[in-house]
Amino acid sequence: MKLSAQTGVKPCRDLPSSQSIGTKFTNFTKEFLDEAFTRLQHLRPGEWVFSTSQGGLGIAKYYQYEHLATLNEVLESHPELKSALGGDYLVTPDIIIAREPVSDDEINRGGVLINSLMELAKYAPLRKSVNPTSILHASISCKWTLRSDRSQNTRTEALNLIRGRKGNVPIIAAVTFEPMPTRLARISHGRIEKDYHFMA
């Protein structure tokens, strides 16, 4: 009621169920990011993909993590290795932002910069002729609230993204509607190996 009095916004009379509120929060966050990127296209050109569903492959759909699909297959077929090396490499973020690689024609639109005969950018993942797979730009974990298990899950996802990649680490963010500072502190402070952004 106090928040309603300060903002002038009336309280919601038809609250969504606890089962659906997290999904709605994730979808609204994705829509916001998509619209924001559209307005910044002149600063961040390219073909961007925003998704809340990566299927069974999770992050292995993306360039930096393709090798994890092969690793997962090996671990599934050799249980003794799985118990020794651990598992859960295939993180499935709530929201991803990915960039599609570009063709050489697009690179050369303003004049010839590169072609198949040149010994340039032979391993650049942004070239579609080198890498046809989307490049993971950001992984976003959405949590309506932060119970202890949820904050731990967010940290585990972030660490798997950092440790399991080849190439650059994507932006790793957590978005939450959690109002309690003590719960927020569980993921916004802590161990040195954590390397992600936090937005509340």
Domain of residue 89 covers 35-103+121-199
Q: What is the pTM of this model?
A: 0.79
Residue 9 belongs to a domain? no
Q: Give me the average pLDDT of each 10-residue run along the chain (200 residues).
A: 73 75 92 93 92 83 89 78 65 92 92 82 90 94 79 80 89 87 73 44
Residue 48 has phi, psi (to 5 degrees) of -110, 145
What is the per-residue pLDDT for 183? 79
Residue 162 belongs to a domain? yes
Task: For residue 198, give the nearest of 151, 161, 162 by alpha carbon.
Answer: 151
Residue 30 belongs to a domain? no
What is the per-residue pLDDT for 139? 93
Domain at 94, CATH number: 3.40.50.10010
Query: What does the alpha-carbon distance between residue 17 and residue 199 come to, in Å, rounded to a whole number?
Result: 24
Tokens 């961040």: give the residue.
Answer: 44
Residue 7 belongs to a domain? no
What is the per-residue pLDDT for 86? 62
Residue 191 belongs to a domain? yes
Residue 20 belongs to a domain? no
What is the per-residue pLDDT for 190? 54
Residue 21 belongs to a domain? no
Looking at the structure of the chain, the number of domains it has is: 1
Residue 61 belongs to a domain? yes
